[in-house]
Structure 1
Amino acid sequence: MAGQHDAQVARADLVDLLTRARRALVRDLGAVLEEEGFTVDQWRVLRALASQERTMGDLAAAVEIPHPTLTRVVDALADSALLYRSQSEQDRRRVVVGVSALGHTRLSRLEALATAHEQALASRVGAENIAHLTDLLRTLP
């Protein structure tokens, strides 16, 4: 019984630690991106679209943002001419979203800021630890 309880506590600790780490990372990166007038969600959407257009459904799955929130994020980016929308050639009922030339330019700046943020984190906890943690997290569902 004690072993089973210990395993449950360990799982709860993992979820709690990952949740706390996520919040801290998003808060810190958010402060950096906010200086450029962006949110973490906006940066993530631009990144997800950087190499290819996607439908809104595919984009929502890729960034794991609820559809109503994603619509607001995409609307704001489109209003700033960083994204464009068009009808899918395969299915006219679907909307395809892509990054504009201006969006790619702004994304380059945001990526540089995010990389600097990650490098600062790596200097605090060690680059090898970051690489190992990244590999472990990629194995999670």
Structure 2
Amino acid sequence: MAGQRGTRVAGADLVDLLTRAQRALVRDLGTVLEEEGCTVDQWRVLRALAAEERSMGELAAALEIPHPTLTRVVDALVDSALLYRTQSEEDRRRVSVHVSPLGRTKLNRLESLAAAHERALATRIGPETVTRLTDLLRDLP
């Protein structure tokens, strides 16, 4: 096994480790957000729309979520009255998505849960480690 490790490409280790960490963090956060009946993708969509309306295309690009998946996520949030859509008067093909007042209230609760989750992570691995990781990950392309 040690011989195999020496022949592995360093970048492949990085991708594997980042993927495993991302999946574990999403799984743990997802468990926390389930208390509010929300998924991680739904929370990410609400967060992305909190500051400004966006078209579905802009939202898909910003969140790196495939269009079909994003459509399902947004449909569920619209059905729950957390989001609503409007059609552009200039271009009927352009549909913008907005957070409703109910969605803002829900987002505030979700943000509290996510912040508590991050504080628990910082307690477990150390706040300095969280800060270093955050800084390093922001520098990745």
Q: TM-score range by the shorter chain?
A: over 0.9
Q: CA deviation at 1:8?
A: 5.9
Q: CA deviation at 1:91?
A: 2.2
User: 2-side partners of 1:122 and 1:88: how far apart?
Assistant: 43
Report what 1:34 is aligned to. 34
What residue identity is the alignment partner of 1:76?
A: A
User: 2-side partners of 1:94 and 1:8: how far apart?
Assistant: 47
Report the more deviating stretch, 6-15 or 106-115.
6-15
In structure 1, runs of 5+ residues without a counterpart are none
Report what 2:107 is aligned to. 107
Runs of 4 or more consecutive aligned structure 1 residues displaced over 4 Å after TM superposition: 5-8
User: 2-side partners of 1:90 and 1:45: how far apart?
Assistant: 25
CA 1:90 to 1:140, structure 2 compared with 1: closer, same or farther past 3 Å?
A: farther
SS of the counterpart of 1:35? helix
Q: CA deviation at 1:88?
A: 2.1
TM-score (structure 1 length as normaliser): 0.92
What residue identity is the alignment partner of 2:124?
A: R
User: 1-side partners of 2:7 and 2:45: how far apart?
Assistant: 36
Report what 2:82 is aligned to. 82
What residue identity is the alignment partner of 1:52?
A: E
Q: How does 1:29-68 map to 2 (within 5 A)?
A: 29-68=29-68
SS of the counterpart of 1:96? strand
Is 1:13 aligned with 2:13? yes
Report what 1:136 is aligned to. 136
User: 2-side partners of 1:113 and 1:74: how far apart?
Assistant: 21
User: 2-side partners of 1:63 and 1:52: how far apart?
Assistant: 14
User: 1-side partners of 2:74 and 2:132: how far apart?
Assistant: 33
Q: CA deviation at 1:35?
A: 1.5
Percent of aligned pairs with the same amino acid: 76
SS of the counterpart of 1:78? helix
User: 2-side partners of 1:90 and 1:134: how far apart?
Assistant: 40
